[in-house]
Structure 1
Amino acid sequence: MNHKSRRQFIAGSALLGISAATATAAETAPAAAGGEKKNDALPKLLHHVFFWLKNPESEEDRAKLIAGIKKLGAIKTVRAIHVGVPASTEKRDVVESSYHVSELLCFDDVEGQNAYQVDPLHVKFVEECSGLWSKVVVYDVLAA
């Protein structure tokens, strides 16, 4: 599978995951023409970040990174946060599970995500935790 297809799959999976998680908490408007449901409560921008640890065997490093990520939920423009690790799902060619920790943040719009990037809590997180990871991959997904 080429990188573009894998990226599209991961980005689409992130959108589906957050949609499923938030759909139960949000009210769904009556179906629009064509049978599509409209849900204005869902976030418009998803910021999905995958981290590869320098020391993947270190439970202490993983715990420190997860704790640091969870603090990002306090940033004003963050509407929802999900922090996780690879699931023990079926191993398939399309499943990327080589990362160690993932964060999925939801924003109302691009401006909210831009404000997050320069927020003092995010800057502090990068300063305190960047030494823990060897690689970071970000997927920013805007609702179509």
Structure 2
Amino acid sequence: MFIKDTFVHTVYFWLKNPADIDTFVEGVKGLAQISQLRDVHVGVPVPSEKPIVESSYHVSLLTLFNSKEDHDVYQVDPIHQDFLANYVKQYVDRVMVTDSVDA
């Protein structure tokens, strides 16, 4: 089954200190309160021996929206802005973001 009519926003976080993962995950999970989100998944990498599998990040965030417009509202939501100021700036060394829509 294909997921249709969806804007997908995926974020990978590399932490300054991996020991902070529990605190950081708690902050990421707080984003689920934002009403524009359709679905949210917060994850950690699965160890893999395969060289093609990227597993150097510490935390991933997969968010699904009904539209790009919903995503844009999410970006400026006070909860998201608080997360950026109080978690990303404090705990994150590197971030990679991908956005995609239906092909």
Partner of 2:91: 132
RMSD over equivalenced CA pairs, Å: 1.5
**Higher relative contact order, chain-length normalized (CA < 8 Å, sep 6+):** 2
1:45 paired to 2:7: yes
Runs of 4+ that moved beyond 6 A: none
**Counterpart-to-counterpart distance in 2, 1:43 and 1:124:** 28
**Counterpart-to-counterpart distance in 2, 1:120 and 1:82:** 20
- What is the identity, as a one-letter code, of the residue corresponding to 1:72? L
Which runs of structure 2 are paired with 1:69-108 in the superposition (5 Å)?
A: 69-88=28-47, 90-108=48-66
More strand by share: 2
- What is the identity, as a one-letter code, of the residue corresponding to 1:46? V
Number of matched pairs: 102
With normalisation by structure 1, the TM-score equals 0.67
Q: 2:76 aligns with which of 103, 110, 118?
A: 118
SS of 1:62's equivalent in the other structure is: helix
With normalisation by structure 2, the TM-score equals 0.92
Overall identity of the aligned pairs, in %: 40
Q: Which runs of 5+ in 2 are unaligned?
A: none
Q: Which runs of 5+ in 1 are unaligned?
A: 1-22, 24-37
